[in-house]
């Protein structure tokens, strides 16, 4: 496999608090990399750096063999990086369909006609085709999570960053999210999936990376990582709220 993303010695501090401390890892093309870690491990901060919301103190981000460490948020989106947020950020007064349209028009620079054609396919992919005309603000939690992913997918990313999409869902609902991620991978999308629900890591990722105190602890096959003494020491049994 060929790497789509390489993170090299990434560090960031806020005052005296070091959040990421020389973190390095890579993501292969068409791979789902899961990232776990205890509270304060720096997972969401990492996604904010990858999308350009935050700038690292040091280190490099190489995406498709291009250094994007200093690139703007909009440029990273246009290069094919999509992202979801822990708390869904849909436009509640707009319909499900219109929210998906936003992802295509502003994320991919489609015309409204082009975005409309893509929107119906996206709704099928996330299982919301029957709710296309409902206002986003009326959706339940599972459907809001689906829509959040759908808006990101509407920009047709090559790399999708997912931030705790399974949080607050039941075990059966989580299966829906896992299936959406599997479908994205089947279509050639690479994924970084940050999560604290271990079911998603075991069933939905190709490799799992555990980080703690801003550093890499262990990375490997999901079951091997979950069973490792390192993960039991720094993650399992702790309350996650990153």
80-92 pLDDT tens trace: 999 999 888 889 9
Q: Which pair of tokens denotes residue 229?
A: 């003494």
CB 42 within 8 A of CB 49: no
Cα(160)–Cα(175) distance, integer angstroms: 18
d(Cα 50, Cα 61) in Å, to the nearest integer? 7
196 vs 140, which has greater pLDDT?
Answer: 140
Task: List pLDDT tens digits, range 107-166.
Answer: 888 888 888 888 999 999 999 999 999 999 999 999 999 999 999 999 999 999 999 999
Decide if pLDDT at 237 tops 60.
no
- 187-202 per-residue burial string, b: 16 or more CB within 10 A, e: under 16: eebbbbbbbbbbebbe
- What domains are defined for the chain? 3-80+157-234 (3.40.50.300)
């Amino acid at each position: 496999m060929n790497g789509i993303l390489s993170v090299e010695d990434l560090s960031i501090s806020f005052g005296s608090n070091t959040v990421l401390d020389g973190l390095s890892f890579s993501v292969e093309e068409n791979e789902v990399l899961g990232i776990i870690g205890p509270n304060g491990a720096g997972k969401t901060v990492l996604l904010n750096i990858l999308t350009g919301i935050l700038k690292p103190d040091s280190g490099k981000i190489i995406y498709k063999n291009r250094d994007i460490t200093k690139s703007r948020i909009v440029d990273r989106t246009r290069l094919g990086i999509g992202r979801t947020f822990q708390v869904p950020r849909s436009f509640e007064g707009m319909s499900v369909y219109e929210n998906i349209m936003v992802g295509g028009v502003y994320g991919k620079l489609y015309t409204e006609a082009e975005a409309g054609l893509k929107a119906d396919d996206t709704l099928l992919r996330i299982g919301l085709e029957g709710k296309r005309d409902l206002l986003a603000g009326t959706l339940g939690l599972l459907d809001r999570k689906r829509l959040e992913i759908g808006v990101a997918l509407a920009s047709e990313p090559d790399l999708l960053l997912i931030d705790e999409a399974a949080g607050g869902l039941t075990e059966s609902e989580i299966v829906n999210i896992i299936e959406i991620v599997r479908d994205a991978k089947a279509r050639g999308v690479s994924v970084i999936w940050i999560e604290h629900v271990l079911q998603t890591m075991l069933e939905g990722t190709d490799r799992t990376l555990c980080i703690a105190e801003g550093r890499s602890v262990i990375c490997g096959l999901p079951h091997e990582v979950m069973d490792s003494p390192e993960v039991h020491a720094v993650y399992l049994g702790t309350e996650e709220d990153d």
